[in-house]
Chain A
Amino acid sequence: MKSAEPAALDAFEAALTLGDVKGRSPWEDAWHRLLKNRAAVISALLMGMMILVVIFGPMLSPWDLDYTDWDHTNSPPSLANGHWFGTDAVGRDILVRTLQGGRISLLVGVVATLVSLLIGVTYGAIAGYYGGVTDRIMMRLVDIIYALPFMFFVILLMVVFGRHIVLIFVAIGAVNWLDMARIVRGQTLGLKRMEYVEAARACGVENRDIIRRHIVPNLLGVVMVYVTLTIPQVILVESFLSFLGLGVQEPMSSWGALVNDGAQDMESAPWTLVFPAAMLTITLYCFNYIGDGLRDALDPKDRL
């Protein structure tokens, strides 16, 4: 400092009086990168529209979910009779059913993922950070649950508690957090060796504050990518369950249940299959593109 030129010191003094500079966090940087990714942005907009339509569409439609229009059973898509997506064998409007099914599918996807996120991140971060015996016991427990056959688990739940929509959340959430916990644990193992964690320990910061302030925020990049890839996976699992008849119950439906119904009438009434399947596919694609975009945007190698 002694060697600094007087002019430099003056400049330093002058700069001291300037207002605060606003920093740009890594999150903002990632956000800007994400906005440049066309596929991700379009997917996000599509998804936003999909969510709005799924929520408000059924309210605007003249048809009820379980209304059977006996004058137009098995009607192909038609503007004239008001069934834009056609009707099924008992005259129910496919458009309303598809939108209603979308509500359930997206809800299952989001809620089950959030549940797995909450449990998985907490569990994985604790196991990874404390390490040692704690880690071993916690992760062996994960292995044991992982080893249970999923279908067996679901059927068991159904038998014991009866068919209920909440059970689907529970069943899918109970299995999905295992992956999340493993991913988070692995990341935590790396993060806890970082010098800023050691610096925090040297400052006497308590373990739970270290996990909260230093570990979890730095995990979120990976976790967010994983979440966007888990949502479509969960939607698929729900569809699969519904396809097998273990999912939601009539008159409620989900995309999986609709595809199942449609598949049975595929030859006589293809529209009962095509529309729900198309919505499901678009959603899956959108989430995958968003996930891809997020991964590119949050890639730590790009950060500097």
Chain B
Amino acid sequence: MSANMKRRVGPGQAKPVLKVQDLAVHYQLEQGGLLRSETVPLRAVDGMSFELYRGETLGVVGESGCGKSTLARALLGLVRPRRGRVLWLGQDLTQLDEKALRKKRKEIQIIFQDPLASLNPRMTVGDIIAEPLWTFYPKIARVQVEERVRGMMKMVGLLPNQINRYPHEFSGGQCQRIGIARALVLNPQLIICDEPVSALDVSIQAQIINLLRDLQRKLRLSLLFIAHDLAVVRHISDRVMVMYLGRAMEVASADALYRRPLHPYTSALVKAVPIPDPALARQPVDTGLTGDMPSPLNPPAGCVFHTRCPYAVKRCQLEVPPLRRLEHGDWVACHRAEELDLTIVKRPSSTV
């Protein structure tokens, strides 16, 4: 099975480096008039649990607004969670104060979606990549910093002699490489990629993905790879987590997830992937989904997906399905996971 070949490490073989338990992030929104305002919680992330192993890539997919980016920021400690635990190498990051958390930032880094916006336009590339070094090693010699920065630039495929250039003098793909170099300069163990390729051209996407994969192998990094492009996620991930309305719907190995989804929502997502074949693309695709995602200000009771689920029954409206482990090791949050057979029938297609 190709799934096993692809998986280099995974559950059962080691202790996870990152363990997230019942993580919830609520934003307090102010609503109301001039004098009387009420705060309403927006449940961006609402009770997520998962594990991440050393050297593993966990893909995270979901529609816009399902809480993917909030999850990333919560793991980094950029937003404070309302409840839950983020265990990094056994230590709960949510309990650390600002100062202790800052030290941990050396080990967890992030790559952003918009390559140009994530680089300060007034700083040279060398200064941008060196900033984490100055922050953590203020006494380090200038020459050493520069040497390290040049090394990083070479590693991510940038010419080191461009060290004095400014971000606006680079293309989108090059800017993303600068962002990757900045994330790697401190030798982190986990990199959170928040839609790192969605702002890039398709041909550049492949370059960046391959670069990330090569670097991951070389440096034994763990990646949390957030995206809304299922094809990209499948290509890079060992396991994939599907998010909906701030909750995990399914966590499964990449290949299994695409061949035989366990959750009706996953199945709808996979069916909606565009096919690069004009003849097939013209045929209407029935994903079984209707309507929009409900507002996270007022999520449905029971299973959050029941309002759009074609298989919903009475029980789904009343009971919240927990994320539970099935026999073959994948996780799903659906009452009817065992009864439903959602195997994707591959439409005849020339490519993919």
Contact = CB atoms under 8 A, between A and B. Distances in A.
Interface of A: 1-3, 12, 15-16, 18-27, 194-196, 198-206, 209, 213-214, 217-218, 303-304
B105 A204 contact: yes
Contacts of B50: none
Nearest to B112: A195
Interface string B97-114: 000001101100110111
B147 to A, nearest CB: 14
Nearest to A217: B122
A16 B159 contact: yes
B169 A1 contact: no
13 contacts: A18-B159, A18-B161, A19-B161, A25-B122, A25-B124, A25-B166, A196-B118, A205-B131, A209-B135, A213-B120, A217-B122, A303-B168, A304-B168
A24 B167 CA distance: 10
A1 B211 contact: yes
B322 to A, nearest CB: 32
B103 A204 contact: yes
A11 to B, nearest CB: 10
Contacts of A21: 159, 161-162, 164-165
A218 B120 contact: yes
Interface of B: 73, 76, 78, 102-103, 105-106, 109-110, 112-114, 117-125, 131-132, 135-136, 154, 157, 159-166, 168-169, 179, 182, 186, 207, 210-211, 214
A200 B78 CA distance: 11
A202 B78 contact: yes
Contacts of B117: 194-196
B105 A195 contact: no
B131 A218 contact: no
A224 to B, nearest CB: 13
Given A1-B214, A15-B159, A198-B112, A24 B166 contact: yes
Contacts of A206: 102, 135
A203 B135 contact: yes
Given A1-B211, A20-B163, A304-B168, A203 B119 contact: no
A12 B158 CA distance: 9
B161 A15 contact: yes
Contacts of B122: 25-27, 217-218
A204 B159 contact: no
Nearest to B108: A202
Contacts of B166: 23-26
Contact of B210 (A3, A15, A20, A204): A3
Nearest to B111: A199
Given A203-B132, A205-B135, 5 more contacts: A1-B214, A20-B162, A20-B163, A23-B162, A202-B76
Given A25-B122, A26-B168, A1 B210 contact: yes
Most chain A beta-carbon neighbours within 10 Å: one of B118, B163, B207 = B118
Contacts of A200: 120, 131
Most chain B beta-carbon neighbours within 10 Å: one of A26, A200, A202, A209 = A202
B106 A195 contact: no
Which 8 residue pairs of A and B lie closest in terms of their CB atoms, listed nearest first? A23-B165, A195-B118, A204-B105, A204-B102, A203-B132, A217-B122, A195-B112, A196-B120
Nearest to A2: B210
A63 B123 CA distance: 52
B169 A23 contact: yes
A198 B118 CA distance: 8
A16 B118 contact: no
Contacts of B182: 199, 203
B44 to A, nearest CB: 16
Contacts of A18: 159, 161
B121 A218 contact: yes
A267 to B, nearest CB: 56
A303 B121 contact: yes
Contacts of A303: 121, 168
B161 A16 contact: yes
Contacts of A194: 117
Contact of A204 (B112, B118, B136): B136
A195 B165 CA distance: 20
A15 B160 CA distance: 9
B161 A203 contact: no
Contacts of B112: 195, 198-199
Given A23-B124, A204-B132, A218-B120, A199 B179 contact: yes
A213 B124 contact: no
A15 B105 CA distance: 34
Nearest to B72: A202
